[in-house]
Structure 1
Amino acid sequence: MTSLQRGSRRRALALAPLLAAVLAIGSSLGAPQAATAATAAVPGDDAIPFYQPPATLPAANGDIVRSEPMTWYLDPLKVTRFPGKATRLLYRTTDNDGQPIAVSGALLVPSTTYTGPGASRPIIGYAAGTQGMADRCAPSRAGGEGTEYESLFVSGLLAAGYAVVLTDYQGLGTPGVHTYMNRRVQGHAVLDSVRAAQRLPGTGLAPNGPVALAGYSQGGGASAAAAELAGSYAPELDLKGSVSGAVPADLAATAKILDGSLYSLFLGYAVNGLAAGYGLDMSQYLNAPGLERLESAKDTCVTDLLSYSFMTSRDLTKDGRPLTEYFGEEPFRSVLADSRIGTIKPKAPALVVHSLADDIIPYSVGKRMASDWCDRGARVTFHTSLVPTHAGGTVPNFVAEMAYLDARFRGWAPLTNCWAV
């Protein structure tokens, strides 16, 4: 382990209480989600010209539409800037129907020389956890304001000498409804963010250098989906491994916990994503207050969590049933089946981390995904965190992530434990 990595671990552990408080609000996920861009603007957000896609997109996925320098702040008072080169990106990717779309993101390249193994600085395709649905919640915008709560984790990766590229996902920053938790679209956005980082001139990054994927919660789902899709969607990437924490691999199981809980807002995010991505007309199922709540959720970030807490969906449906009871019926059943993670063998070794006492995403969900991957012959390391709660599991995930990524870039064989999963 390098001194940079030991320092990163010490900083992460020292910041554990702060991280738990922040991520209790920010890192939680929602439930099912979906796929194609809606055309309506998200209410309450000003249209920033940079994020507006042109009529014609570039030819290939990962191609850059436009880029601009930005300042990435590590605190909301804008006292501490990221000590390196930060670039805001708009790049081409693919939606759930295979159609080209533009997605935004941010690339962070440290100013320090990379001293790790190999000649090329590795790129981490970092998938952020739940941000919200309003365009102002996008990581590339929040980072510019010093309000991106995952900057603490990203800083550790940067301190290790890695470049980090974060996607905003579909419809978060760019026009349309954010397709929250759609595995295919999120996986595409992560993989194409890495392609964009490799193609951006003037960064010093190699076009065929080593790559890894990382994320927690919604980001864990996105990084896991990207790991599954990499072999077919982006086979040219030199993918060394992936780290996926608290993966919502089974959205139906997760949704049942959210309804009527502190995290009710995220169920609203999920339904909005399903409706936008799969063409669902929610007016068939929701009453007037339900439709109003869904619409208003489109203009929220995770900081608005408490305004929607303990909202029960049975009060929002026409027939008084909770939304989770619809999940066994069509079209919801097929949509949720399509969103399942664990059905494709990842291209590279994978670390899966989950808290035994996760209060949002059941531990059994993450463990089953790891087991499904093992059954398909994947090289999986499953790590059980004993720190309780979903937020509490973030720090153990980060500590395990740093050691795992270092070993992958050094070319060490992963110590799989499929026999115990």
Structure 2
Amino acid sequence: MKLPVRFVVACALSMLGALPATAQSVGTLLEATPLPGAPAGGTAYRIRYTSQDEFGAPKQITGTVIVPPGAAPAGGRDIVAWAHGTYGVAEKCAPWPTLFDSIAGLPDMMARGYLVVASDYQGLGNPGPHPYLAGVSTAHSVLDAIRAAKGVSGASPSARFVTWGESQGAHASLWTAHVAPTYAPELKLMGAAAAAPPTDLKANLTGGSNAAIRAFLTAYTADSWSAFYNAPLAVFATPATQGLIHRLAQNNCTDLGKPKISTEIGLAEMIAAMKGVDLSADAPWGELMTRNSLSPRGYTVPIMIVQEDTDPVVAPAVTHDYAQKACAAGTTVHYLRLPDGNHNDAAQKSAAQAVPWMADRFAGKPAPSDCGKLP
């Protein structure tokens, strides 16, 4: 199916609007403000930096840089680019208030002397819209945060980095691995680790065993893509359902504790309204899902994938199939299967294996492969 004219025109206008040269190139540090409470004797900064979305439109993004204690080695500090999971799609849903606790393996990274760089992504903690699960735009946010870290006092980054993320951030981690060689060729990617990655968005957004979570993810995706891609909600949603989608997406961040009664009612209404609706069957939604799904081909570095057998959000069978295809394409895949978990804890439960795996990539050791063990 062809994309609707309004969608194509919006993309073209976005690209044309980005053609004039901006005053600062992507990855320029604009501001660095010290943050209290950095773990393990490190120093942390909130940063604001320049980037661009997938259409080339200039953006200013926020994030965090955590500098480990001690002097930097002669070649600079190796970098772990942390990509956070889903906090929401509204500007207020930035991850930084709880960031130190949420970065899986952060104390170990500090002990090993790694510089940790964590983008908020476009539209979270900075003006939106947030391109939720939009692979190229999010990869730009991650890579330009690494570039901006050069300007942070005491950071002293090397050119070498790994990516590490959970859920939405696992999607970002693997997308960054695809985009880095062409978008940031001056940086040297050593590996990409992903806990509970949504790899096939058609399967991931329409599957999952928890109806309330599916409703939230649908609201987040639909509200985000209608604003970012100008994708029409009217092809699958009534005006009342469109309003419900917007309210659920803009009024709810995932870290605000127990949902309000109004949110629970809204979720019930959303579940009922979307019953029998296949979002992937309507243009341009299906095309956008395909466009932002991850290719199992084209990796230039080893990857690590973590998947819980009881994940109610990202179906284990979908992740397993992706790992098999990546292996068949020639990628070295370390596949860590966890027997239980609730999706949100996949990165924390695997950090004791993931951080040493990253260390081995920096050390130049042969990457372990589980490709022969995947049936």
Per the shorter chain, which TM-score range? Answer: 0.7 to 0.9
Residue equivalent to 2:121 = 169
Per-residue CA deviation, residues 148-193 of structure 1 (Å, 9 max, x unaligned), is 6514643432233211111111111111221111111111211111
Aligned match for 2:170, one of 213, 216, 220: 220
Q: Does 1:291 align with 2:256?
A: no
Shift of 1:399: 1.7
Residue equivalent to 2:26 = 61
Aligned match for 2:268, one of 311, 331, 338: 311
Shift of 1:237: 0.9
Identity rate of aligned residues, in percent?
A: 24
Shift of 1:264: 2.8
Contact 1:248 1:254 in 2 (8 A): yes
Q: Measure the CA separation in 1 of the matches of 2:237 and 2:169.
A: 29
Residue equivalent to 1:370 = 323
Residue equivalent to 1:24 = none
Q: Helix, strand or coil for the counterpart of 2:46?
A: strand
Residue equivalent to 2:225 = 274
Q: Measure the CA separation in 1 of the matches of 2:146 and 2:60.
A: 14
Amino acid in the other structure paired with 2:223: N
Shift of 1:343: 4.2
Pick closer, same or farther for the CA change 1:243–1:285 going to 2, 3 Å. Answer: same
Q: Measure the CA separation in 1 of the matches of 2:67 and 2:23.
A: 24
Aligned match for 2:70, one of 112, 118, 131: 112
Pick closer, same or farther for the CA change 1:201–1:396 going to 2, 3 Å. Answer: closer
Residue equivalent to 2:286 = 333
Q: Does 1:409 align with 2:357?
A: no
Q: How many residues align?
A: 351
Per-residue CA deviation, residues 272-294 of structure 1 (Å, 9 max, x unaligned), is 12212221121443234322222
Aligned match for 1:91, one of 46, 49, 73: 49
Residue equivalent to 1:136 = 92
Q: Measure the CA separation in 1 of the matches of 2:269 and 2:276.
A: 7
Pick closer, same or farther for the CA change 1:313–1:257 going to 2, 3 Å. Answer: farther
Q: Measure the CA separation in 1 of the matches of 2:49 and 2:162.
A: 19
Question: Unmatched 5+ residue regions in structure 2?
Answer: 1-9, 15-19
Q: Measure the CA separation in 2 of the matches of 1:57 and 1:89.
A: 19
Pick closer, same or farther for the CA change 1:59–1:133 going to 2, 3 Å. Answer: same
Contact 1:125 1:164 in 2 (8 A): yes
Contact 2:245 2:270 in 1 (8 A): no
Using CA pairs under 8 Å that are at least 6 residues apart, name the structure with larger relative contact order, 1 or 2: 1
What is the RMSD of the two structures over their aligned residues, measured on CA atoms?
A: 2.7
Contact 2:91 2:128 in 1 (8 A): no
Q: Measure the CA separation in 2 of the matches of 1:340 and 1:363.
A: 16
Contact 1:231 1:346 in 2 (8 A): no
Question: Unmatched 5+ residue regions in structure 1?
Answer: 1-34, 40-54, 75-80
Moved more, 247-256 or 55-64: 55-64
Q: Does 1:252 align with 2:205?
A: no
Q: Does 1:233 align with 2:201?
A: no
Contact 1:229 1:346 in 2 (8 A): no
Q: Helix, strand or coil for the counterpart of 1:412?
A: coil
Q: Measure the CA separation in 1 of the matches of 2:164 and 2:104.
A: 14
Q: Which runs of 4+ in 1 moved over 6 A?
A: none
Per-residue CA deviation, residues 373-400 of structure 1 (Å, 9 max, x unaligned), is 2232222212212233313433332122
Pick closer, same or farther for the CA change 1:290–1:72 going to 2, 3 Å. Answer: farther
Q: Helix, strand or coil for the counterpart of 2:372?
A: helix
TM-score normalised by the chain length of structure 1: 0.75
